[in-house]
Structure formats: C-alpha cells, structure tokens
Amino acid sequence: MKTEDLMMRVSDLFSNMLVLDDTGSAVLSPAYRPLVEDIAKALQEDPENEMLSELSRSLEDMATSVANPAVAQIMYEGMTKAVEPNPEIFDAIDDGDVAAIEQALLSWDINQTHGEYDSTALYHAMAGFEVSLEVIDFLLDAGADPRLGLTNTNVLHGLGFANLQGIAPEDLAQRIRRCVELGADIEQRTNKLQWTPLITAASEWNPVAAEALLMAGADIGARAGEVEGVCFSGSDVMSFADGHAETMDVLKRYANPN
C-alpha cells in the first residue's frame, strides 16, 4: 500500500476520529483499527520509512488523547461544532490555482481573516497540506501582510504544520526572508507556550521548515517559555526534535556548523 494513500486515510481519520456509540458516548472511529493494522503491515515491508513511523505515532497519540471518556466527549463536541465554510480564496489556495485566487480577490480583502483563529489567506497558504511557492509569491505580490497569520502569530508559525514535500529548504528560505523584510518577526513567540516558529517546526518534526527558518536566520539557541505545568517548558530546540532523526540532523548541522 502506498505511503501517500495511508497519509490521506490518516488525514481523513483526524477529521472524523470520533463517533458516538449506541450509548451516546464518544469513541474512536471504526476506521481507526484497520488503518493501524495497514500501517503496521506497511512498516513490516519498509521498516526504515520515517513517514510511516510518524503516521503510526500519530495514531498512537490519537488513541491516548481520547482514552479518557470525558476528554473524548469534549473533543467530539468540538469536532462536530458547526464550522463556517472556507471562503473561495482558501479553496483556491488549497487547489494551488493562482487564477482562481486572483478572481477571489475581487471580492475578498487579501488581509481579511477567517475562522475561529483568524487565519489570513497567506497563513493558510503557508500552513497547508500542499504548499505552493507560486501561491505564496502571488499573495505577497498582491499585498498580503506576513505579520498577520492567526490571532496572535505571524505566518511563519504556520510553516511547522505545512506539508513541504518536494520543496527545497533554500527556496522556502527565500520566501521567509521576504516575509521578514516585510515585517514578520522570525523570533515571534506564541502567547501561551512562548514558542518561536523554529520551535514549532522542530516540535512538528518538520525538517524542511526547520532548515528553511535556520537559513533565514532563526535562532537555534531559542528556548520555549517558562510556563508552569506545561511539557517542554524552558526546553531548547533540540528537545523538541528528539525522536525524529531527520529533523535532529538538520538542527545539529546548524548548531555545529564546523
């Protein structure tokens, strides 16, 4: 079974990970167990596949997060809460369709926000499942403000969550530098955890985002904020990459350039 197909199934499962059983309690979707088994079989055939290992860990984390019935119920209620549909420009960004984006901008302010977390179009483009450098360039050329990402973060924080497969770190770094030139703070910290974009990228085990940020000048010596009762409080960047060889290798190269 192809890794890409398993990735899509995991993505679909995360969108519908909980269902109600006959008693009205929130439980894991019936699709969970077959997917775990298929990934386990794929790992037996290709034990060195890092992506498959990550998918397996993600599913383990999913099961752990909903093991408490009360937590599962709260999560189910949040997942099934009515969500405002994406505006046309967000759909066009997901499709990588520059012409459709240009058309959508006729009725959409490029720095207008959408959704519960106030996402801008540029943030959506830089944190997406299929990031397009052409789309990022177009939005910046059209006046997108990289200082505006989510409610309290700029667009650079979104890179850690992005699927950057096929994108060279040096090419992404060029766009990061442009965002910095336009005012985005590469060391901006999130409100609650006090994480920089690099820490976020390391925590998401995203080696391309991490290397691109480092190429653009991110501080590898940054530490998470000292937040009481939070895992990794005060930890260095390396701590967040522990367990993912590719991301750790990137960080080590920049920590010890000689």
> DSSP letters along 34-51, please?
HHHHHHHHHHHH-TT-HH
Task: Compute the average pLDDT of residues 140-156.
Answer: 96
- Please state, rounded to an integer, the average pLDDT across all residues of the chain: 92
Alpha-carbon dihedral 6, 9, 11, 17, rounded to 10 degrees: -130
Closest of 82, 71, 76, 2 to residue 41, by C-alpha: 2
Parallel, antiparallel, or unpaired: how do β-strands 26-28 and 18-20 relate? antiparallel
Is-above-0.75 flag for pTM?
no
Confidence of residue 82 (pLDDT cuts 50, 70, 90): low
Residue 66 has pLDDT above 90, yes or no: no
Higher pLDDT, 117 or 127: 127
Closest of 196, 202, 194, 199 to residue 242, by C-alpha: 202
Percent of residues, the chain, with pLDDT higher than 70 = 98
Please determine, looking at this structure, whether the domain spanning 88-255 carries the CATH number 1.25.40.20.
yes
pLDDT in tens, 109-122: 999 999 888 999 99
Residue 158 has pLDDT above 70, yes or no: yes
Q: Where are the domains of the chain?
A: 3-79, 88-255
**DSSP state, 127?**
S
Contacts of 171-174 spanning 24+ positions with Cβ under 8 A:
171/133, 172/133, 172/208, 172/209, 172/212, 173/211, 173/212, 173/213, 173/215, 173/216
- Between CA 108 and CA 82 the distance in angstroms is 23
pLDDT of residue 163: 93
Q: Which residues sit opposite 119 in a β-bridge? A: 114
pLDDT in tens, 22-47: 998 999 899 999 999 999 999 999 98
pLDDT of residue 134: 98
pLDDT in tens, 159-202: 999 999 999 999 999 999 999 999 999 999 998 899 999 999 99
Percent of residues, the chain, with pLDDT higher than 90 = 65
Task: Compute the average pLDDT of residues 67-89.
Answer: 82
pLDDT of residue 55: 87
pLDDT of residue 225: 92
